[in-house]
Amino acid sequence: MTRSNPTLNLTRGLPKGADVVVLGMATISQSAPALVGVTADLDKPFSKAYGHGVAEVATSMSASAKREEVTVLPPVDGTRIVVVGLGDADVTPDAVRSTVGAALRTVAGLPGAEGLDVAVSLEVTDPELLQAAGEGALLGAYKFEPVTGKEQATAVASVSLMSAVTGSEQKEAVNRARVIAEAVCQARDWGNTPPNLLFPETFAEAARTFVRDDRIAVEILDEKALEKGGFGGILAVGGGSARGPRLVRLSYSPRGATAHIALVGKGITFDSGGLDIKPAGQMAGMKFDMSGAGAVVSAIHAVASLGLKVRVTAYAALAENLPSGSSYRSSDVLTMFDGQTVENYNTDAEGRLVMADAIGRAGLDKPDLIVDVATLTGACMVALGLRTGGLITNGEETSDLLLDAAEIAGEDFWELPLTDATRESLKSTVADMRSGTGQRWGGALVAGAFLEKFVPDGVAWAHLDIAGPAENPEAPYGYVPKGGTGVAVRTLVALAELIEG
């Protein structure tokens, strides 16, 4: 599960031997769309070969400024030109990220694409826009390597971002883009991996391998350690599988750090629903139920690689939820890590149980902020669709911080309420609380209210429900492929950067 990503470079001019050059088409005021990024090195051979410059040829082929629309021009001297619509010339980082992503998806899908060296020329010099272009390029070029004995060709070998300014700020922006995009690609890979290959033990070891070159301490608790530690939720959920659960703790503690974030990720490597088994048609995508864990492991790696001066502790709560004679049941009473007891109402609401244990353990680290990430509820998908995640917090300041981070990252989250009535609905007559209500309405809010009960008093907390955007089951768009998306990684890294200041 080790991938080879394209290299990402910053150059002033057109690199020699570029196989593909990406240009932009933008609308300037009310004028006709104009081509962005054309250089004399490109225009001269085009005029010689076709009697017209690149702009004229692009116009004759109906190249458009419509956002993400891609037109492939005929090759000249072994170089192919790809024109992508930018929309308005006054572009935003997310517009750049999505349009460059769309262009690179097209490039990676060209017939015979193998080992291509791609140059992106959009006349961009602003560090924020360069970072967005770099992220879009690497994320758009992403392809999951299938499980096969056949040798697989790498479509894109390198990406060069052309900029008239190549100072230290621009170079640092491109490096950030590389680190963050590679982390997202790893999270995508874990999500896309078949569940017979990625289960708690192998996922835990993959996480250890992924951060081995970072200044990150790794602790992995197996079944015996979990039992000794009293992790009743994780043990219950994982009890029905022959593949035992794991809790991975990753700790990054740089010198000079004054703030501490705890990240908690749901890592259900396959969710059958347990004894409350899912219908067959709803089970196929359940390999993505570990996307929260993939996000937090990938994010802490990116934070460490960037050398951010903020302490981060990440927990990946890993289990496989299967039905068997040793499965936990609806109406079981579980004793959680922090000593609270829970009346379980449904074995298909397993994610909140493993997360509750991990949040309770994270509380012992005394962080300033706990952020949990989980593909937690179908109810959140019903409310917000497939491209927007839900946000629940225990304070307005925390909400603002997370929404600012998401906006910087270009990821969509929408805040949901947490009310006293929802909290009251979790009362139980046989335990300290119930894990749910059994009612159809407000399911995302109920799950959030349950998790809140395991957050230590006085600690800021945010819950990201990524059930919708963690997997894209439909056609690719922008820099988002079909399958695992790696959502929340960029938001978590942006959060760490905001807290670092």
Distance CA 116, CA 313 (A): 38
* SS3 annotation, 392-440: EECCHHHHHHHHHHHHHHCCCEEECCCCHHHHHCCCCCCCCEECCCCCC
Q: Which of 243, 266, 352, 361 is catalytic?
A: 352
Distance CA 127, CA 178 (A): 13
Q: 212-232 in b/e burial notation, b at 16+ Cβ within 10 A?
A: eebebebebbebeebeeebbb
Would strands 471-472 and 34-36 be described as parallel, antiparallel, or unpaired? unpaired
Q: How many CA atoms lie within 13 A of 205 on its CB side?
A: 6
Contact 231, 356 (CB under 8 A): no
Q: Could you count the other beta carbons within 10 Å of the beta carbon of residue 88? A: 13
Contact 398, 369 (CB under 8 A): yes
Q: 340-364 in b/e burial notation, b at 16+ Cβ within 10 A?
A: bebbbbbbbbbbbbbbbbbbbbbbe
Q: Could you count the other beta carbons within 10 Å of the beta carbon of residue 148? A: 7
Distance CA 177, CA 56 (A): 33
278 classed as catalytic: yes
Q: How many CA atoms lie within 13 A of 166 on its CB side?
A: 10
352 classed as catalytic: yes
Amino acid sitting at position 102: A
Residue 68 backbone phi and psi in degrees, to 5:
75, 0
Residue 484's DSSP bridge partners are 471
Q: Which of 171, 278, 387, 453 is catalytic?
A: 278
Distance CA 352, CA 456 (A): 16
Distance CA 160, CA 13 (A): 10
Q: Which positions are annotated as active-site residues?
A: 278, 352
